[in-house]
């Protein structure tokens, strides 16, 4: 039997003012801006449906107003610059962060369906107040209970 799906979560900066810290966002697609891949050799993984349409639809049955967005992964560990955030926005990103795209690629190569969920912990660089890591951590802690409850409801009603 084994696992058939994986849930990936991250903390993200939002390019969208209507998504303040504490907002959970379904990941509909990603931009891998790390310059890296977790795959080695001739591995040509189809990422057309990298974030499962079925699992995203299920999450919206739990929370119908759950927004969806495109997540851009940067290499980190530093926060993005305002110019990088503008570039990501031009490319279609709604969220920025330092994880998840590479994990999604590896999961899809392993044949797993992926449900990605970002928790907005800050406005992306240049779109709001200066970034302070302590504030980002505090925003994550403040939303942990609600995010945990959302994940619990999604998982306890998981299809299949």
Give the tens place of pLDDT for each residue, 36-91: 999 998 889 999 999 999 999 999 999 999 999 999 999 999 999 999 999 999 99
Q: Strands 113-123, 24-32: parallel, antiparallel or unpaired by DSSP?
A: antiparallel
Q: Is the confidence at residue 159, as pLDDT, over 80?
A: no
Q: Is pLDDT above 70 for 160? A: no
Residue 89 is predicted with a pLDDT of 98
Helices (H), 10-100: 53-62, 82-90
* Annotation says 68 is catalytic: no
Strand pairing report for 5-14 and 113-123: parallel
What residue spans define the domains of the chain? Answer: 5-156
Q: Looking at residue 79, what is its pLDDT?
A: 95
Average pLDDT over residues 15-31: 98
pTM over 0.85: yes
CA distance 145 to 124: 23
CATH, domain range 5-156: 3.40.50.1580
* Span 114-157, pLDDT tens digits: 999 999 999 999 999 999 999 999 999 999 999 999 999 999 99
Out of 80, 84, 109, 146, which one is annotated catalytic? 80
Sorted by sequence, the CB contacts under 8 Å of residue 7 that are 6+ apart come out as 114, 115, 116, 117, 151, 154, 155
């Amino acid at each position: 039997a084994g696992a058939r799906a994986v849930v990936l979560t991250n903390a993200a900066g939002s390019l969208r003012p209507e998504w303040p810290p504490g907002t959970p966002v379904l990941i509909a697609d990603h931009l891998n801006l790390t310059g890296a891949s977790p795959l080695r050799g001739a591995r040509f993984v189809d990422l057309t449906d990298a974030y499962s349409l079925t699992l995203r639809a299920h999450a919206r049955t739990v929370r119908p107003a759950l927004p969806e967005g495109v997540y851009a992964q940067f290499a980190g560990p530093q926060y993005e610059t305002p110019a990088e955030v503008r570039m990501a926005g031009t490319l279609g990103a709604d969220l920025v962060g330092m994880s998840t795209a590479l994990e999604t690629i590896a999961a899809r190569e392993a044949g797993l369906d992926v449900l990605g969920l970002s928790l907005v912990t800050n406005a992306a660089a240049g779109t709001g107040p200066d970034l302070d890591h302590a504030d980002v951590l505090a925003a994550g802690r403040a939303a942990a209970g609600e995010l945990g409850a959302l994940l619990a409801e999604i998982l306890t009603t998981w299809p299949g």
